[in-house]
Amino acid sequence: MKVAIVGATGMVGEVMLKVLAERNFPVTELILVASEKSIGKEISFKDKTYKVVGLKSAVSMKPDIALFSAGGSASLEWAPKFAEAGTTVIDNSSAWRMDPDKKLVVPEINANLLTKSDKIIANPNCSTIQMVMALAPLHKKYKIKRIVVSTYQSISGTGVKAVKQLENELAGIKGEMAYPYPIHKNALPHCDVFEDNDYTKEEMKLVYETQKILDDKTIAVTATAVRIPTSGGHSESVNIEFENDFDIPEVRTILSNTSGITLQDNPDINVYPMPIYAHGKDEVFVGRIRRDESQPNSLNLWIVSDNLRKGAATNTIQIAEYLTANNLV
């Protein structure tokens, strides 16, 4: 299995390498790909050193699978070139997510949609992945009418520049700013760019991607996305209105029996999900499960996950695992 990582020198690329090693993905040949300025750089993987190559060289090497995390513009330009060479691309950017001809996949929910003809597969946004992981089994049982979500997102979701900004602010150093304001001791209700409707792109991703993954455009979603000064892990307060009523013990049972979900829900002893404990883990953690007493058939959840792992690298590699296990590459 010849595997390329496009964007190997970035934050998600580094985590992809780590997850590939941890999960013993069957890599027989590894191709590390990055921008022109990184060509020739050396990166270690499983006690072996690899030199970074450029995109053109990587296409000519015809990998079986290419894991992309190099941004939307690079993906729009290069994913089709890899696909034409016979490579199956799993893309971590927003470039292909809403393309009606491309699958948007969270393996635990809809990997069964994948076929051999899918040469470009979209990986959802990090905040969407963790939310739909918890919502999919509940939607199946009670049918979701409406979701109100507020996110509390780590600076690592922005990238290296944002991590550096927080480090500089903690050290009292003036440096390059990833955000229009300081992030230390602050909360910015501003993730990604603002769109014409005054919602940010991140907020609208939660709307459109949720409907696509759950295959139900009737689900109403409204979102507020907030950046907070944590270095890893996204948190979400999610209010769900169902068409049918539910029983809280049954909700807990459904979630605890869902692959990839870990229940942390015991307020009596202060057990609830937090990003500090989700860091470095692949599960989606769910807690603070309680009925919304202000209106019928409504539930509140608190959902936390490591945005660089299940929110990006791990989900991508799980898609690759499904493809290889089912002879789809």
Active-site residue list: 126, 234
Q: At what angle do helices 314-325 and 11-22 cross, to 10 degrees?
A: 50
In contact, 118 and 319? CB cutoff 8 Å: no
CA distance 166 to 161: 9
Per residue, the 3-state secondary structure of the chain, as one string, reads: CEEEEECCCCHHHHHHHHHHHHCCCCCCEEEEECCHHHCCCEEEECCEEEECECHHHHHHCCCCEEEECCCHHHHHHHHHHHHHCCCEEEECCCCCCCCCCCCECCHHHHHHHCCCCCCEEECCCHHHHHHHHHHHHHHHHHCEEEEEEEEEECHHHCCHHHHHHHHHHHHCCCCCCCCCCCCCCCCECCCCCECCCCCEHHHHHHHHHHHHHCCCCCCEEEEEEEECCCCCCEEEEEEEEECCCCCHHHHHHHHHCCCCEEECCEHHHCECCCHHHHCCCCCEEEEEEEECCCCCCEEEEEEEECCCHHHHHHHHHHHHHHHHHCCCC
CA distance 227 to 182: 11
Q: At what angle do helices 248-256 and 126-142 cross, to 10 degrees?
A: 130
